[in-house]
Structure 1
Amino acid sequence: MELLQLRYFLKLAESEHLTKTALKLRISPPSLSSSIKKLEHELGVALFTRSKQRIHLNENGKNFYQYVNRSLSILDEGIESLHPIRNYALSIALTSQSVYADMLYAFEQQYPEIPLKSSTLTYSDVINSETLNHHDFYLGIIEDLNASEREIIQLCSSESPVVMIARSHPLASKKALYLEELKDMPFISITQENSSATQFVFRVFEEAHFKPHKFFEGNYLVRQKMVSENKAVAITTMVGAVANALKSPMVTFIPIIGIKATRTQSISWPKQKPLSASEKKFIRFCQNYFKKHPWI
């Protein structure tokens, strides 16, 4: 049994697609298939169930994957520990610092030897692969990404839009709203038109074939003030509301009916990018953090 076989198995187990995995590993599909069959022969059990169209991890494979994943992670950390500590900071790109601030602080407290450098990006930066790939990781919205170019791990359930509205508004007691019910109200979004959040608002309007009669822009404090005073309403998600809206008894949030547009928080990195032990730690930390500390 060779270390390379185990790394090949790990990648194939994660994708369950022979050709795509071989392409990522830069070997031929027959070579990958031969390596996996040799591993199975040495173990004395099949790890995959094969059909003409697909290859699926079986129960033996699922159990073996857990051990291989842990073992290789420990091995990679051991290899990295043999080298002098470098002051290399992981470059983290975000579109919303407030959403991830607590998690990034917690990571630096737990791993002070792994410095982080975060940068806030515009929507144009995110959809520009060249700009985004300058960073080790992107923490943000799946729907903004080119999924064919990124490895993506979802960090929470996909969210549908909600209306941020003053409790004094006549519709504030409703459990759900159609956008058309707010046709006489001005809307407000954050100032940066080139922001992910504002692009989401535009997608909601487009899907609903809705055009507000008046549209304001402002920072988060201005948005909060105008909504609280019943001078405007805003579209957001509950994660966005928790991160960016000040707690106020004067404001409530109501789901919007009939909209399929979603926002899904994630961590992603360029496909085929080799991951260091520090980077793997960061990925695992992100996944575990929001299981223990959900946004909502």
Structure 2
Amino acid sequence: MLWYQIVFLALIQGLTEFLPISSSAHLILPAQLLNWQDQGLAFDVAVHVGTLIAIVAYFRKDLVQIIAAWCVSIKRKESTSDSRLAWWICLATIPACVAGLLFDDFISTHLRSVEVIGYTTIGFGVLLWLSDRYGSSNKTEYDFCLKSVLSIGLAQALALIPGTSRSGITMTAARYLGFSRECAARFSFLLSIPLILAAGSMKLLELISSNISVDWISIGLGVALSAISAYFCIHLFLKWLNTIGFFPFFVYRLVLGSVLLLLVYV
């Protein structure tokens, strides 16, 4: 990879991983429009590590409280709001992990196409706007229950379909269930940590077993840029979300999906 390809793809990954606009849709565009080769397994690992660093760094204080409360709940059988949130995150992660194990090969073979990504980018963008437009905002993270957490977890499993957007579909489900925008976004971000960790670990093991030669300078640049861009993206998204809502992301997804479908049919 050339240096400007590394910079571009790392920034795109960092900026789109946590926004409700689908990172897979953006990573496929350079290959289609600029005839770039696939970035490769090592670079995928690098940007996963970068986005994981960003989300852990941003929510470091929350994570310390949540993990500490979770450990206490196991040891002393005491339940607090933070310990319950930790258990909800664990529970909501299970559907996506199970779906990944069962359907990853099928999705990789049949659904990783520009056409599928175009339709899902538009379709799930419409659902995002509708849930934000007509959903109530009276619930906070202290109002999670088994039903709502499982619903968000099942929605997250749909994000295995390229173009869906993991953050987008979990925020859509949370807004539909009546959670506030900020709560929906925060829970979506916290929910991403175990999945990014699992996906990055699997890719790392695959990389180690493949004996692929690694350009460590490119890897380091990918990690740094994806981490920095993701961190600032999370900060600005949470800062402006209540002001701008999800409508701009809905419009953006319509445009992006239309461009992808034009590449297929024109």
Does TM-score exceed 0.5, indicating one fold? no
**Larger relative contact order, structure 1 or 2 (CA cutoff 8 Å, min sep 6):** 2
Larger proportion of strand = 1
**When you count helix as a share of all residues, which structure comes out higher?**
2
Q: TM-score, normalised by structure 1?
A: 0.26
Output the TM-score relative to the length of structure 2.
0.28
